[in-house]
Structure formats: C-alpha cells, structure tokens
Chain A
Amino acid sequence: MPVLSLNAFSPFAVSGVGLLLPPRKSQIINIHQSKKISFFNRWERFRQTNDDAKMMLVTTKIALDNAGIDIKKLDRTRIGIIFATTFGSFSSYESFEGSVLNNNLEPHAFSNSLASSPASAISIFWGIKGPCITFSVTQCAEIDAIIVAGELLKNKICDIVLTGGWLKLSKTCLHYFAKKNSMSESAVVIVMESLEHLKQRKHYPYTVVKIENGYPKEGGYIFPNVSKNFHNQFEPSLNQKIIDIKSILDLGKIFSIPIFISLAKSVKFALRKNTRKFFVLPPFREEKICFLCKNTIKRSVCHGENDRN
C-alpha cells in the first residue's frame, strides 16, 4: 500500500521518458558503450562518478531530449529530482570497503556510495536547484516517489520533476539474489511536468497520467506489469484489449523498479502506436491500482529511442 494516499491525486503529464535496459540475453548494462556517454566527457567530475550515477546521467539525458527540454532555458530552482532505489550504490560500498581493508582510502568511492549520489550528479551537472530526494524502496514502492513528485507539481513547488530509479548489480547484490531470483540492471527517468508548464512551453506529445484505485473499468488498451503473476485476478471486459507484454518487454528478466519501467515502456509504446487511451497495471501485491494514461495528440513517430547497447 502506498505510504501517501492516492486520494485527490492530481493528474500530471509525462513529457519524456528515458530508459536503459540491458541487451537481450544479458542482465548487465555496459554504460560505457552508450552513445550518449560522450555528451558528458567534457565534464571533469564525470570520471569520478560511479556507474550508478553514469547510468542515471545518460538516462536523464535521453529523457530530457525526449521531452524537448533545454534545462538552461528554464528556471532551475523549479525543477526537482525524486529518485527511488532499492539497493543504492553497493558497488561503491564494495570499492570503498576494499580501500579501507587495503589501507588505501578512495574518497570518491565514499561519496559515491551514498544512495543520493546519482541524484546529486544530475543536480550538479544540469544545475538543478529544486528539491533533490532519493527514496529507498522495495516491494514496488516507487509509487511513493511518483506520488511525492506529483505533490511537488500540485503544490506548485516545481514545474518539472525528474523521477526514476536504477539498479546496478554488484557482488553484494548478486550474492543476495543468487538465492532468490535473477535481477537485471536498469535505469529509468520519467519527466513529470505540470500541465500548465507544458502548455506554456508548447511541447508535444505528452501523456496525461492519473493514478486510480482499483482495476480499469473503462475501455482501452491495458498494459499489465512486467511480472506475469501479479494481476491474475484481473479479468478484462470486452472493450479492453490486453497488449501482449512480451512484445514490449524483455521476458525472463526481473527489475527492481518495475513500476517505473512498466510506465515508461508503456508510454513509449503507446505513443509509437498512436494509442490514445491506455492503462498500466503496476505490480502491487497488496492493492489494486492502475495508471490511467491519455495521449494528448496522435503522432506517427516517437522520438528519443531506447539507448540500447
């Protein structure tokens, strides 16, 4: 159950998404092979950031391009960052702990080990000065990050909130998952924007998203979540069409931030297919919930393709 209530949750616009997933038959993202990485080469501190931050920087770049946003032209005190991570940056924990044990301390590995370091890297690189919050989430709690981001928009604290999350596998994570299931690396950034701001800057296309309690009752396309067993109780009506999730997601992979991934993937897919109205069923074990999504205009081509490596 989300910590923050969904009652009176105002709709928000998703104006851009960035998504990094591993190649098929792999669980690992090789961020250094990403086409977008050269964008950061001139930033001296980029070399000091860990792969977690690099993944999120690249994904943010994809999302901002997708949203048609040039941050320099916007009021950066009104842009926020709300990220969610399940395991933070364990690879940096391991690096720094190794340096402690070897008596050869690496200060960068220490500051990189903070769960908030990817959000900080993005804030510093783009000069984003609004609230910058990182949640630790398990059990699909990214919904809380989305709700808090929605609150920032609704209360007019921010015009834009970059929300998303990541998983970078490390020795510790692999040990942990060895007994449970096989997780895949991933990084997602969703550009959430207030409808007023979006209309002001005249950006198209975008998807208006509303979070609703319960399963969808209206007609439309339904995107179930990434895990097949969560919604076995859901019986679609005649005017609801289930989109075969196999066609848009890498089957056999499990992600630690499935809500972000299913929302981002579905938005991209729906825009590409000119789907006006669709529902995304995020994985929730304890309650029924869905994202009601409406695309504002039809378009034939969706720009900002996946940065698959």
Chain B
Amino acid sequence: MNKAVVTGIGLVTSAGIGKESFFNSIQEGKSGISKITLFDTSRYFCKEAGQVKDITDTSDRAYTFLKKATDEALIDADIEKTSLANGNAKLFTGTTHGSLIDWENWYRKIDPPDSWGLALEDLSIRCQRALGLKNRGLTISTACTSSTIALGLGLLAIRNNKADISIVGGVDVLNEFIFAGFHSLRALTTTCCKPFDKSRDGLILGEGAAVLVIENLDYAKKRNAKIYCELKGFSACSDARHFTAPDLTGEGIYRCIKNGLQDADVKVEEVSYINAHGTGTELNDRAECIAIKKLFGKYAFSVPVSSTKPILGHTSGACGVIEAALCALCIERCFIPPTINFEFPEKDFPFDFVPRKGRKKFLDVAISTNAAFGGNNACIVLKRI
C-alpha cells in the first residue's frame, strides 16, 4: 500500500490569504471575524462572520477562492501545470453549497440568467480545465464533512495506486441563504464563538477555501518535493440519529475517531494534538467531548484539543481541508493552535483546550475531526514523517 504525503498547501480564509498570513494569524490568535458586508444583516441578531475581506466581489466568489487556493498549493508543492496534464493526477473537491451565491444572485434577479453553474460539480469541472487535467474531478457534498471526505478519497486514490497526485480542495462562501439558514436553526452565537467554554451559545459562520496537494511518497521523493507530513488515516461514518443535531452519546464521533486511528495504525497515546470540529454549539461540543473522553480515557485530560472556528468562522464544507492544512503546518512548525475566547471548562470535561494562546510543542500525530448535518462524521490522521 502506498504512503500519501502532503506536499503543497493553499489557503484563502478570513484570517489570511496564503499559508504564511493564515498561520501568523493562528499563531497570534488573531481572529478574522468581522462585520458582514456581503449582504444586509439588519434583520439578524448576529452581524459578524469570518468574511474574506481582501476579495470583495461576490460574483463567481466560490471559484475565485478555489482557484486562488489551488494556484498557491501547486506553487507551494513546486508542481507545474504542464506536468499535471501529463501525469496521473486526480482532483477532489468538497463543498456544501458550491456557487450558491451566484444562484442566489440570479434568483433575486441581481445577475442575468444562466450566469451561474447549476451543479455543485461546476466548480471542480472548471478547476480541472484550468489545470489541464485529463481526469474529471470528483465533487463531494456531505455538508460540513465534505472536504474531509474528499481528503479521504484522495488518500484512497494514492494508497490504491490510482493516482500519483491527489489535489484535494474544499470551498464554501458566505451568502444570506446560508446565514439565514443557521439563524433559523438558532445555531448562531449571540455573543462570540467560544468552543468548549461552559457559556458557549453558538457558532459563527465563515467562508474560505483550502487546497492540499497529496502525493505518493515515492513520487514525492523522486522529485525532491518538500514534505509536510504523512496523511496516515481516514474514517467516515454516520450517527443515524438526527438531521441537524449530533448524537449526544458521542457514539458516532467515537466510532469515527477510533476507526480513523485504526486505519492509520496509531494508538491513542501516540496522538499529540486533536483539532476538534468545535463549532461552539452546546450539542456539538458536548458530543465531541464525550467521544474524546470515552476513546482516550485518562489520556483525554492531557492531550491538547483545540478549535480554530473562533478565528476562522465555521466554513461549512471547506473546514475539513482548512483544518487539515492547519494540522500539517502545525506538525511542520511544532505548534499547537489556541482555542481563543475559551475561559471556563465544563465540570465534566476539564481537558487541555489550549485556551487563548497557542504553544510550541513537538507534534508527531495530529487528528482532525469534523461532523455535519445528517449525522455525518469524518476524521483524518496526519503524522510526522
């Protein structure tokens, strides 16, 4: 079975465009959350989100994000597009709503008809053409686990010798439709996003894109590529309980992390850091804590667990790849990102949530988990190489 390694990272987030700007914000705990200017928020109690400020145009926003992240990732991996066209590369994209913002503009008669791509897959088809790839891209849409599952499929393609390079992207953009949706579910915070804090009251939305270049280890070595870490394991499963709430027994998340570690052949004591989904909603954070406590036992109280959602906002289908990119950078740079806004833990879960400030630490294995509407769970395991 081939090993898969991360060799390129591209990021477009509210906390920074480009991996350096992004990582500096994470290191400093500097939040990208700001007042929303993309649409009128006067009728919503929440007025803020992780909006990408440097790109103001709403037209074709999702593709702009994805393309920018892809270009950066390929430059970072030192891969030329011409070599991609001739090689065995596959494209995997995760998105919840794709170019919904363009559809919304059309539906509200802001844009002329047919200026939008109807299918979610439109984004990856355009990306594939821009890269000159022979193989059509594959688009996954499983809400907030979309791009985590895309990473898993990219990993499988390399493991099973079906690709030398998997280009895995995730993208979702803010628009009123999504904002109103979370508002209607009463999932948005009325104060600020405080994952795992006992006074947490909801999530903050965000937007962004990330692309990871995953390569067969032998292929990467042959071309002397810089390697961030190994993408070691993947798992996906379902709660089978509720459309919008997690299973409060934590059973689904527990099973997902357990299977992911098993797939990676990693023991719980070897895990150096958990990048939790950590949305800041009462139910999600509780379910995650229960699962971590059950799986990690006494080690749950010492392994660092953090959430970067208060910095980036919840980027829906893009969060899986953004958080995987963060884990890869943290392994490379020996850093544990903070959970900003965290103050007081719940009595039952006195974990190390890395409150407010990140810290330097040698990381060997990092896991990143995501959960989604419909009870979808996904987990990836990254390991130093």
B344 interface hit (Cβ, 8 Å): no
Is A114 a contact partner of B143 (Cβ separation < 8 A)?
A: yes
Chain B hits for A121, CB < 8 A: 243, 374
Residue of B nearest to A107 (CB): B184
Chain B hits for A131, CB < 8 A: 149, 236-238
Interface residues of A in 93-142 (CB under 8 A from B): 93-94, 96-97, 100-101, 103, 105-107, 110-111, 113-117, 119-121, 123-124, 126-139, 141
A148 interface hit (Cβ, 8 Å): yes
Known pairs A129-B255, A136-B120; A96 contacts B373 (CB<8 A): no
Is A7 a contact partner of B374 (Cβ separation < 8 A)?
A: no
Alpha-carbon gap, A130 to B237, bound state (A)? 5
Chain A hits for B244, CB < 8 A: 107, 111
B-contact 0/1 string along A272-283, CB 8 Å cutoff: 000000000000
Is A97 a contact partner of B374 (Cβ separation < 8 A)?
A: no
Is A96 a contact partner of B181 (Cβ separation < 8 A)?
A: yes
Alpha-carbon gap, A68 to B235, bound state (A)? 29
Is B121 a contact partner of A148 (Cβ separation < 8 A)?
A: no
A203 interface hit (Cβ, 8 Å): no
Residue of B nearest to A173 (CB): B118
Tell me the minimal C-beta distance from A108 to chain B in angstroms.
Answer: 8
A-contact 0/1 string along B89-113, CB 8 Å cutoff: 0111000101010011001100001
Is A128 a contact partner of B240 (Cβ separation < 8 A)?
A: yes
Is B141 a contact partner of A120 (Cβ separation < 8 A)?
A: no
Partner of B139, one of A119, A136, A148: A136
Known pairs A87-B118, A138-B121; A132 contacts B141 (CB<8 A): no
Alpha-carbon gap, A261 to B263, bound state (A)? 34
Residue of A nearest to B138 (CB): A3
Interface residues of B in 44-95 (CB under 8 A from A): 90-92
Chain A hits for B373, CB < 8 A: 111, 114, 116-117, 120
Residue of A nearest to B378 (CB): A131
A45 interface hit (Cβ, 8 Å): yes
Residue of A nearest to B128 (CB): A3
Alpha-carbon gap, A90 to B176, bound state (A)? 16
A185 interface hit (Cβ, 8 Å): no
Is A1 a contact partner of B139 (Cβ separation < 8 A)?
A: no
Chain B hits for A138, CB < 8 A: 119, 121-122, 125
Is A135 a contact partner of B374 (Cβ separation < 8 A)?
A: no
Is B140 a contact partner of A111 (Cβ separation < 8 A)?
A: no
Chain A hits for B156, CB < 8 A: 151
Tell me the minimal C-beta distance from B143 to chain A in angstroms.
Answer: 5
Chain B hits for A151, CB < 8 A: 156, 160
Chain A hits for B153, CB < 8 A: 4, 148
A175 interface hit (Cβ, 8 Å): yes
Residue of A nearest to B93 (CB): A136
Alpha-carbon gap, A222 to B237, bound state (A)? 38
Question: What are 12 A-B pairs with beta-carbon distances under 8 A?
Answer: A2-B136, A3-B136, A88-B141, A107-B185, A107-B244, A110-B181, A110-B184, A110-B185, A120-B373, A131-B149, A132-B142, A134-B141
